[in-house]
Structure 1
Amino acid sequence: MNGARVEFRGLRRTFGTTVALDGLDLTVEPGELIALLGPSGCGKTTALRCVAGFESPDAGAVLVDEEDITRVPANRRDAGMVFQSYSLFPNLNARDNVAFGMRVRKVPAAKRHARAAELLDLVGLPSQGDRYPHQLSGGQQQRVALARALALEPRVLLLDEPLSALDAKVRVALREEIRRLQLSLGITTIFVTHDQEEALSIADHVAVLKDGRLEQSGAPAEVYDRPATPFVAEFVGTMNHLPGVLSGDEVEVVGQRLPVHGPKPGSADVDVLVRPETVLVTPAEDGEAVVITSSFRGASVRLRLRLGDGTEVLADLPGHDAVRLAPGDRAGVRLVERPVLVAARAAAPAEVVLAGD
């Protein structure tokens, strides 16, 4: 299969007063797997359905290899889609489910049966062709749905949260299988998910959406390590909020001055956003921080510490470094010397006064 180039140009879609897509501009390169990531209602599934032809945008265009397909009927688009709910035909066995699209296109029976058997083997179900959907596990049903989407050799593969209904272990195994197949076939793939771990582990590029707009697009490491906005920083991974004072292009936080990148709020009092793995912790009898909890996480240990001003901070340390620190111990805290994001200081929650107090 040859991957196609997919472009979203100024895509806008509204449902009544709700704006699902608000001028989305995004390009997916041939053979690339891109993950559309964001919270519920951010527009990621609407964008996918606009490529599939199940939604018509109010403005803008969808192009595949520079051809405008915005008004092309869904059944004439060279795209295969895998739905969250699998959508297998319960009265057809796995082989016939995979072959269904080929039967609609009047592919000769011998050829479509051979192709269906080939695809079931490709997705790891060579002996399940005679089984009906109710006789298959959730992971097996999803593999059949994937084989069905690939049967017509589409230029674009569309995956709408295909793993969300599966348990954690099966999800990991199947996402690795999807990535293996995508790489071996070289097919352009758009993968919709709200699971940031899933997006970072499977994609060549991650596009983070918020309120129908693109917040950031880039390689997984770039989006994680250099988030463009506080929203991206919060949504992709765990983030600490530490009080700081902004001065020009630097911020003072935990006794350090660090460079700032990204947008800056108008006030000097800010929250500094730092990841747990960039918090350095060392045992110190006169340290300003106290270890509250220590959670073993395999190769690392997550510490929760309370700073002198009462702020709590999470720190991820290699296991061999954290064994010297236990709840109640005092420690010194510093941050890795690198640019940080800042956001307007979050207002403290209002104090609740009970009647009679």
Structure 2
Amino acid sequence: MTTTISAGDSTDTRAGVGLRLGGLRRAFGSTTALDGLDLDIAPGELVALLGPSGCGKTTALRIIAGFETADTGELLMGGEDVTGLPANKRDIGMVFQSYSLFPNMTAAENVAYGLRVRKASKAERAARAAELLELVGLPGRDKHYPHQLSGGQQQRVALARALAVSPRVLLLDEPLSALDAKVRLQLREEIRRLQLELGITTVFVTHDQEEALSMADRVAVMKDGRLEQCAPPNELYERPATPFVAEFVGTMNRLPGVVREGGTVEVLGRRLPVTTGQGAHPEAGRTVDVLLRPEGLQVHTGEQDGGEHATVRVATFLGSTTRLHLTTDSGAEAKADLPSWEAGSLTPGTRCTLTAHDNPVLVEERDNPVLAEKTAS
């Protein structure tokens, strides 16, 4: 993907470059931050690094930026090995969580700072700053100082500053976490629009799954310094490779089941096909936890055959859907999402029958599995 952006009388044509993180390892004393991270990012792609605190996502971003050095492994940018290249030689733009604007500079001066360091002319700096401030939705704010801008406006200035030098790669380190919900939603849409318009390869670090799923071409879920799965948002949600991914991305139920012959599992009175993800297929007769999304459950009023009887404990109205919190007669807890028009009669205390849609499910063996004949009726 190639983008042409004019600044004054100059034209800058850039193509997004690919990134390769090959076997990156980084330890801080006895703590392993990255444990052999392998990840390929295509030119012009936006990849979100998603995971809990301490999973290694920020360390990976800092290694790409050149602020940290990997103990082992390599970093390729556009096919070039930049592993040992200092940060100021990598042609990377970075936006931080804390904005990091110079308080004694106006918005325009902040945006133009990188160009000033690169000895661009005053006219070129002014033209580029004005262009980018308009691009991020801040025309007329060029003479405002950071303390005169809202948090969302400051982050837009920080984004414009990162883009001013036309970097080959843009890095975003949880840039929206300090903003309120409405501004966060607006700015994530703006960032995505700009990224697509400019065609710039972007790596976005976040612990917010909604941000990752709504913005990224692919989401890389990390745990304990390793990559659990990297896939487009819909695949990550619908076909998680591991139980960790399944539970970290979206809401997931864990319901008891028994593995049967033919690659199926018996749960809620039905046999469902099993998808193994990255794990081994449990042998027949093992008790397992069956992972089911709330929308993968069916709830029928009254005690019917062909499912498990349950009681509605809480009904939470969410607009077009209602989330039911249920307890089965065997003691299992479950959440089910139904269209609100369908859930109207399922008030707290209602007896019902719980079953599942006939879709492949991910299973995980329990710590102390028992043979099916001890539990099957």
**TM bin (shorter chain):** over 0.9
Q: 1:159: which partner in 2?
A: 172
Moved more, 181-190 or 278-287: 278-287
Aligned to 1:79: 92
Contact 1:36/1:207 (8 A) holds in 2: yes
**Correspondence 1:168 to 2:181:** yes
Match of 2:311 among 290, 300, 318: 290
The match for 1:144 among 139, 157, 161 is 157
CA distance in 1, matches of 2:151, 2:243: 36
Q: 2:294 aligns with which of 276, 279, 284?
A: 276
What amino acid sits opposite 1:154 in the alignment? P
Is the Cα contact below 8 Å between 1:13 and 1:22 reproduced in 2? yes
Aligned to 1:251: 265
Map 1:156-235; keep pairs closer than 5 Å: 156-235=169-248
Q: TM-score, normalised by structure 2?
A: 0.90
Paired residue for 1:54?
67
Q: Distance in 2 between matches of 1:299 and 1:106?
A: 56
Distance 1:167 1:90, change over 3 A: same
Structure 1 gap ranges (5+): 348-357
When the two chains are superposed, the root-mean-square deviation of aligned CA atoms in Å is 1.3
Identity, % of aligned positions: 64
Checking the alignment, whether the CA contact within 8 Å between 1:243 and 1:345 is kept in structure 2 is no
1:10 counterpart = 2:10: no
- Unpaired stretches in structure 2, ≥5 consecutive residues: 1-13, 369-377
Q: Residue 31 of structure 1 corresponds to which residue in structure 2?
A: 44
Map Cα deviations across residues 75-133 of structure 1 (whole Å, 9 max, x no partner): 01111000111110011011000000000011000111110010000000011111111
Q: Which amino acid aligns with 1:105?
A: R
> 1 CA distance for matches of 2:188 and 2:329?
44
Matched residues in 1 for 2:251 and 2:52: separation?
A: 15
Give the whole-Å Cα distance in 2 for the aligned partners of 1:50 and 1:288: 53
Shift of 1:344: 2.8
Shift of 1:284: 2.1
1:311 corresponds, among 321, 332, 347, to 332
Shift of residue 324, structure 1, vs aligned partner: 2.3
Structure 1 position 26, deviation (Å): 0.5
Amino acid at match of 2:299: V
Alignment correspondent of 1:354: none
- C-alpha separation in 1, matches of 2:256 and 2:210: 27
Q: Deviations over 1:207-263 (max 9, x none)?
A: 001111110011000000000000001110111010111235221111111121122
Count of aligned residue pairs for this structure pair? 347
CA shift for structure 1 position 346: 6.2
More displaced stretch, 328-337 vs 120-129: 328-337
Q: Find the residue that maps to 1:260 and give its secondary structure.
A: strand
Structure 2 letter corresponding to 1:260: V
